[in-house]
Amino acid sequence: MTRKENLRMQTFLAGKGFRVRVKRIHDGSMKGVWRIYGPGQQWTEGLAEVLNKLGFTNFDGTPLGIFSASGDFQIFVRGFNEMASPSKNVDL
């Protein structure tokens, strides 16, 4: 069963053209970070630019860049905390 906040974020990103899987991390040192994974896709500077424009940052708060991932499209980002809120009506 996929958590509601993960479905909201996945739907939001799908609306922006991303075919990805999403998971919100709820504990540990990465608490509050989204893991975004694009199976079979390569990470590019262009993807970083698009996600930066959407308002995401690297897990440490810096802008995303080519070194935010190591080849494959799997990144850990911050942003859009409202997606994780219990509110059902998130409108972005």
pLDDT tens profile 9-28: 999 999 999 999 999 999 99
Distance CA 26, CA 14 (A): 22
- Identity at 7, one-letter amino acid code: L
79: nearest Cα among 66, 67, 90, 59: 59
77: nearest Cα among 29, 24, 26, 39: 24
Backbone angles phi, psi at 20, to 5 degrees: -135, 165
Distance CA 56, CA 28 (A): 20
Alpha-carbon distance values, 18 to 15, 33, 50, 52 (Å)? 7, 18, 10, 14
pTM: 0.87
Domain span at residue 76 reads 4-83
Q: Let me know if residue 90 belongs to a domain.
A: no
Residue 52 pLDDT > 70: yes
Report the chain's mean pLDDT, rounded to a whole number: 91
The number of folded domains in the chain is 1
Q: Let me know if residue 78 belongs to a domain.
A: yes
Q: Let me know if residue 89 belongs to a domain.
A: no
Region 2-13: mean pLDDT is 94
Q: Let me know if residue 54 belongs to a domain.
A: yes
